[in-house]
Homo-oligomer: A and B are copies of this chain.
Amino acid sequence: MTKTRLTAAERSEEVLQAAVVAFGANGYAGTKTDEIARLAGVSQPYVIRLFGTKQQLFLATTNRVCDQIESAFRRAADREATLASLGESYNELMPERELLVVLLHGFAASSDPAIGETVRERFGRIHKTVGELTGATPEEVTRFMATGMLLTVMAAMQVTGKNPIACEWATELLSSLGNPDED
């Protein structure tokens, strides 16, 4: 457990992973840089120096999360280019509940101009990517995104993911997602 010295890039990567967890749990305004630092095992000022600003760290975290979501969709489309296939990749994403939830916190922090701009751009990109990957109709893509938002919100409410909070409506709702009348 001796202090392992890493390059700035490597350490930034670790901090970014910690940031996903921390921001996912408490959102942009609700997360202190000190908590991220503790999760990453470094000092709080160093976190700031690596990313310049809490805001920039959040933007980096958001972009990283969106990259991961998109690449998960790409991998799924690689196996089978259907909405159903991409939908299954949600389950692949779910275990790390934070991924989706960080995005939700980005939406919530949209009143900050820089965050709003980033988040709109990334959401639009995901929307476009899903359409291109599957060749589905706009209506189908929109419904897919809608379902995704519902799952994201439920993840934020902690009724999905590992050890979810018990909730009758949640289980009922999830089961009614399993059998859509078509697809």
Give A residues with C-beta under 8 Å from B. 25-30, 104-105, 107-111, 116, 119-120, 123-124, 127-128, 137-139, 141-143, 145-147, 149-150, 152-153, 156-159, 165, 167-170, 172-173, 175-177, 179-181
Contacts and interface: CB of A to CB of B under 8 A. Distances in A.
A176 to B, nearest CB: 4
Contacts of A30: 27-30, 109, 111
A142 B104 CA distance: 19
Contacts of A172: 138
B119 A177 contact: no
Contacts of A116: 157-158, 165
Given A146-B150, A153-B149, A165 B108 contact: no
A41 to B, nearest CB: 22
B26 A139 contact: no
A83 B70 CA distance: 32
A142 B27 contact: no
A124 B168 contact: yes
Contacts of A156: 107-108, 110
Task: Pick the 4 closest A-B CB pairs, nearest first.
Answer: A29-B30, A124-B169, A138-B176, A29-B29
Given A26-B111, A139-B181, A127 B173 contact: yes
Contact of A177 (B29, B142, B169, B173): B142
